[in-house]
Protein backbone atom coordinates (compact mmCIF):
# COMPACT_ATOMS: atom_id res chain seq x y z
CA UNK A 1 0.00 0.00 0.00
CA UNK A 2 2.60 2.45 1.09
CA UNK A 3 4.72 3.42 -1.86
CA UNK A 4 7.61 5.45 -0.61
CA UNK A 5 8.96 6.69 2.64
CA UNK A 6 7.76 10.00 3.94
CA UNK A 7 10.70 12.34 4.27
CA UNK A 8 9.22 15.70 3.44
CA UNK A 9 6.71 17.42 5.64
CA UNK A 10 3.94 17.16 3.08
CA UNK A 11 4.46 13.45 2.76
CA UNK A 12 4.15 13.17 6.48
CA UNK A 13 0.93 15.11 6.23
CA UNK A 14 -0.38 12.61 3.71
CA UNK A 15 0.38 9.78 6.11
CA UNK A 16 -1.54 11.57 8.84
CA UNK A 17 -4.49 12.00 6.53
CA UNK A 18 -4.46 8.34 5.56
CA UNK A 19 -4.56 7.36 9.20
CA UNK A 20 -7.33 9.81 10.01
CA UNK A 21 -9.37 8.80 6.99
CA UNK A 22 -8.97 5.13 7.71
CA UNK A 23 -10.07 5.68 11.28
CA UNK A 24 -13.06 7.70 10.14
CA UNK A 25 -14.02 4.93 7.75
CA UNK A 26 -13.81 2.39 10.55
CA UNK A 27 -15.98 4.54 12.78
CA UNK A 28 -18.66 4.42 10.12
CA UNK A 29 -19.01 0.71 10.66
CA UNK A 30 -18.13 0.15 14.31
CA UNK A 31 -18.25 1.95 17.65
CA UNK A 32 -15.28 3.82 19.05
CA UNK A 33 -14.50 1.05 21.51
CA UNK A 34 -13.93 -1.43 18.70
CA UNK A 35 -11.47 0.66 16.74
CA UNK A 36 -8.17 -0.96 17.62
CA UNK A 37 -4.70 0.04 16.60
CA UNK A 38 -4.07 -3.42 15.22
CA UNK A 39 -6.99 -3.36 12.84
CA UNK A 40 -6.49 0.30 12.02
CA UNK A 41 -2.88 -0.14 11.04
CA UNK A 42 -3.77 -3.22 9.03
CA UNK A 43 -6.39 -1.30 7.08
CA UNK A 44 -4.16 1.72 6.61
CA UNK A 45 -1.43 -0.53 5.24
CA UNK A 46 1.05 0.61 7.85
CA UNK A 47 2.74 -1.12 10.73
CA UNK A 48 1.28 -0.30 14.11
CA UNK A 49 4.52 1.26 15.25
CA UNK A 50 4.42 3.48 12.22
CA UNK A 51 0.92 4.67 13.03
CA UNK A 52 2.19 5.62 16.45
CA UNK A 53 4.95 7.60 14.80
CA UNK A 54 2.33 10.00 13.55
CA UNK A 55 -0.02 10.03 16.53
CA UNK A 56 1.03 9.64 20.10
CA UNK A 57 -1.80 7.25 20.93
CA UNK A 58 -5.02 5.78 19.69
CA UNK A 59 -6.91 8.40 21.67
CA UNK A 60 -5.00 11.24 20.02
CA UNK A 61 -6.24 10.07 16.62
CA UNK A 62 -9.81 9.91 17.77
CA UNK A 63 -9.57 13.26 19.50
CA UNK A 64 -8.40 14.97 16.35
CA UNK A 65 -11.17 13.32 14.40
CA UNK A 66 -13.68 14.38 17.00
CA UNK A 67 -12.57 17.95 16.90
CA UNK A 68 -12.91 18.07 13.15
CA UNK A 69 -16.30 16.38 13.16
CA UNK A 70 -17.49 18.90 15.74
CA UNK A 71 -16.57 21.87 13.62
CA UNK A 72 -18.22 20.42 10.57
CA UNK A 73 -21.41 19.58 12.41
CA UNK A 74 -21.59 23.08 13.86
CA UNK A 75 -21.50 24.52 10.38
CA UNK A 76 -24.33 22.31 9.25
CA UNK A 77 -26.33 23.15 12.33
CA UNK A 78 -25.84 26.85 11.69
CA UNK A 79 -27.15 26.53 8.16
CA UNK A 80 -30.08 24.44 9.25
CA UNK A 81 -31.06 26.91 11.93
CA UNK A 82 -31.28 29.96 9.68
CA UNK A 83 -33.53 28.00 7.37
CA UNK A 84 -35.80 26.63 10.05
CA UNK A 85 -36.11 29.46 12.52
CA UNK A 86 -38.15 32.59 11.91
CA UNK A 87 -36.44 35.40 13.80
CA UNK A 88 -39.79 37.13 14.21
CA UNK A 89 -41.48 34.04 15.64
CA UNK A 90 -42.57 33.51 19.22
CA UNK A 91 -39.90 32.48 21.73
CA UNK A 92 -41.54 29.18 22.39
CA UNK A 93 -41.67 28.39 18.70
CA UNK A 94 -38.06 29.31 18.17
CA UNK A 95 -37.04 27.16 21.08
CA UNK A 96 -38.90 24.16 19.77
CA UNK A 97 -37.55 24.63 16.30
CA UNK A 98 -34.07 24.94 17.64
CA UNK A 99 -34.47 21.68 19.52
CA UNK A 100 -35.84 19.99 16.43
CA UNK A 101 -33.04 21.23 14.23
CA UNK A 102 -30.45 20.35 16.82
CA UNK A 103 -31.64 16.79 17.15
CA UNK A 104 -32.16 16.31 13.42
CA UNK A 105 -28.74 17.70 12.61
CA UNK A 106 -27.14 14.95 14.67
CA UNK A 107 -28.95 12.22 12.79
CA UNK A 108 -26.31 11.94 10.05
CA UNK A 109 -23.50 12.41 12.56
CA UNK A 110 -23.61 9.16 14.45
CA UNK A 111 -19.88 8.93 14.78
CA UNK A 112 -19.76 12.43 16.21
CA UNK A 113 -22.22 11.36 18.89
CA UNK A 114 -20.20 8.27 19.59
CA UNK A 115 -17.01 10.27 19.93
CA UNK A 116 -18.77 12.84 22.08
CA UNK A 117 -19.94 10.19 24.48
CA UNK A 118 -16.44 8.75 24.68
CA UNK A 119 -14.78 12.12 24.92
CA UNK A 120 -14.45 12.75 28.62
CA UNK A 121 -14.34 9.16 29.77
CA UNK A 122 -11.91 7.76 27.21
CA UNK A 123 -10.45 10.15 24.69
CA UNK A 124 -9.15 12.72 27.12
CA UNK A 125 -7.19 10.05 28.91
CA UNK A 126 -3.94 8.76 27.61
CA UNK A 127 -2.92 11.85 25.73
CA UNK A 128 -0.11 14.25 26.55
CA UNK A 129 -0.74 17.60 28.18
CA UNK A 130 0.04 19.36 24.92
CA UNK A 131 -2.57 17.43 22.98
CA UNK A 132 -5.04 17.73 25.82
CA UNK A 133 -4.63 21.48 26.02
CA UNK A 134 -4.77 22.01 22.29
CA UNK A 135 -7.87 19.90 22.00
CA UNK A 136 -9.57 21.52 24.96
CA UNK A 137 -8.96 24.96 23.56
CA UNK A 138 -10.52 23.88 20.31
CA UNK A 139 -13.48 22.39 22.13
CA UNK A 140 -13.85 25.62 24.01
CA UNK A 141 -14.22 27.38 20.68
CA UNK A 142 -16.70 24.81 19.45
CA UNK A 143 -18.82 25.15 22.54
CA UNK A 144 -18.64 28.93 22.22
CA UNK A 145 -19.80 28.61 18.63
CA UNK A 146 -22.75 26.52 19.74
CA UNK A 147 -23.52 29.10 22.40
CA UNK A 148 -23.35 31.77 19.71
CA UNK A 149 -25.87 29.91 17.57
CA UNK A 150 -28.22 29.60 20.50
CA UNK A 151 -27.84 33.23 21.38
CA UNK A 152 -28.46 34.32 17.83
CA UNK A 153 -31.77 32.49 17.57
CA UNK A 154 -32.83 32.80 21.18
CA UNK A 155 -31.42 36.14 22.32
CA UNK A 156 -33.86 36.12 25.21
CA UNK A 157 -31.59 33.63 26.93
CA UNK A 158 -28.82 36.13 27.31
CA UNK A 159 -25.18 35.31 26.78
CA UNK A 160 -24.79 33.34 29.98
CA UNK A 161 -28.01 31.43 29.50
CA UNK A 162 -27.09 30.51 25.96
CA UNK A 163 -23.69 29.31 27.08
CA UNK A 164 -25.19 27.17 29.80
CA UNK A 165 -27.72 25.61 27.49
CA UNK A 166 -24.91 24.79 25.09
CA UNK A 167 -22.96 23.00 27.78
CA UNK A 168 -25.98 21.14 29.08
CA UNK A 169 -26.94 20.08 25.58
CA UNK A 170 -23.47 18.69 24.95
CA UNK A 171 -23.51 16.80 28.21
CA UNK A 172 -26.92 15.42 27.45
CA UNK A 173 -25.98 14.17 24.01
CA UNK A 174 -22.96 12.43 25.46
CA UNK A 175 -25.06 10.86 28.16
CA UNK A 176 -27.90 9.79 25.93
CA UNK A 177 -25.96 8.27 23.08
CA UNK A 178 -24.76 5.09 24.78
CA UNK A 179 -28.34 4.16 25.59
CA UNK A 180 -29.16 4.02 21.92
CA UNK A 181 -26.58 1.32 21.21
CA UNK A 182 -27.80 -1.60 23.25
CA UNK A 183 -25.63 -4.69 23.41
CA UNK A 184 -26.83 -7.83 21.64
CA UNK A 185 -27.89 -9.42 24.91
CA UNK A 186 -29.79 -6.27 25.86
CA UNK A 187 -31.50 -6.35 22.50
CA UNK A 188 -32.52 -9.93 23.13
CA UNK A 189 -33.90 -8.87 26.50
CA UNK A 190 -35.90 -6.16 24.81
CA UNK A 191 -37.30 -8.65 22.33
CA UNK A 192 -38.27 -11.05 25.07
CA UNK A 193 -40.04 -8.53 27.27
CA UNK A 194 -42.18 -5.78 25.74
CA UNK A 195 -42.30 -3.99 29.08
CA UNK A 196 -38.54 -3.55 28.87
CA UNK A 197 -38.69 -2.49 25.25
CA UNK A 198 -41.03 0.32 26.28
CA UNK A 199 -38.27 1.99 28.26
CA UNK A 200 -35.89 2.33 25.33
CA UNK A 201 -35.14 5.92 24.51
CA UNK A 202 -35.09 6.72 20.80
CA UNK A 203 -32.13 8.99 20.25
CA UNK A 204 -33.51 11.79 18.09
CA UNK A 205 -36.90 12.10 19.73
CA UNK A 206 -35.59 11.97 23.28
CA UNK A 207 -32.90 14.45 22.43
CA UNK A 208 -35.32 16.85 20.81
CA UNK A 209 -37.63 16.78 23.78
CA UNK A 210 -34.83 17.20 26.28
CA UNK A 211 -33.31 20.15 24.46
CA UNK A 212 -36.71 21.77 24.12
CA UNK A 213 -37.28 21.27 27.83
CA UNK A 214 -33.87 22.69 28.67
CA UNK A 215 -34.52 25.75 26.57
CA UNK A 216 -37.97 26.28 28.03
CA UNK A 217 -36.51 25.97 31.48
CA UNK A 218 -33.66 28.35 30.79
CA UNK A 219 -36.09 30.85 29.32
CA UNK A 220 -38.49 30.74 32.21
CA UNK A 221 -35.63 30.98 34.67
CA UNK A 222 -34.02 33.99 33.03
CA UNK A 223 -37.41 35.62 33.01
CA UNK A 224 -38.08 34.85 36.64
CA UNK A 225 -34.68 35.72 38.00
CA UNK A 226 -33.31 38.92 36.46
CA UNK A 227 -29.61 38.93 35.57
CA UNK A 228 -27.26 39.72 38.38
CA UNK A 229 -29.34 37.90 40.94
CA UNK A 230 -28.21 34.66 42.44
Binding stretches for a copy of itself (CB under 8 A): 33, 92, 117-121, 124-129, 131-133, 136-137, 140, 143, 164, 167-168, 171-176, 178-179, 181-183, 185-186, 188-189, 192-193, 195-196, 199, 201, 206, 209-210, 212-221, 224
Give the nearest distance from C-beta 133 to a copy of itself in angstroms: 4
**Binding to DNA by residue 2, rule CB under 7 A?**
yes
The three-point CA angle 207-210-172 to 5° equals: 70
Euclidean distance between CA atoms 13 and 188, whole angstroms: 45
CA nearest neighbour of 149 among 214, 227, 85, 66: 85
Contact 181, 31 (CB under 8 A): yes
Residue 120 interacting entry, from DNA, a copy of itself, none, C-beta within 5 to 8 Å by type: a copy of itself
d(Cα 5, Cα 15) in Å, to the nearest integer?
A: 10
Measured on CA atoms in the order 101, 216, 177, 111, is the torsion positive or negative? positive
Q: Which is nearer to DNA, 38 or 88 (CB)?
A: 38
Is residue 15 close enough to count as binding DNA by CB under 7 A? yes
Contact flag: residue 50 with DNA (CB under 7 A): yes
- Using an 8 Å Cβ cutoff, are 180 and 201 in contact? yes
Q: Using the minimum distance from each CB to DNA, give the nearer residue, 55 or 163.
A: 55
Q: Give residues in contact with DNA (CB under 7 A).
A: 2-8, 12, 15, 35-39, 45-50, 52-53, 57-59, 126
Amino acid sequence: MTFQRARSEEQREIRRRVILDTTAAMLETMPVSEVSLNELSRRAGLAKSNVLRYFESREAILLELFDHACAQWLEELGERLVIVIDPAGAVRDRGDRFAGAFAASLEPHRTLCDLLSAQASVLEHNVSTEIAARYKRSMHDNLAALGGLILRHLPELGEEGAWKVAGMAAVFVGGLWPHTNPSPSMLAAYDADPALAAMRMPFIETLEEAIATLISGALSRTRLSPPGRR
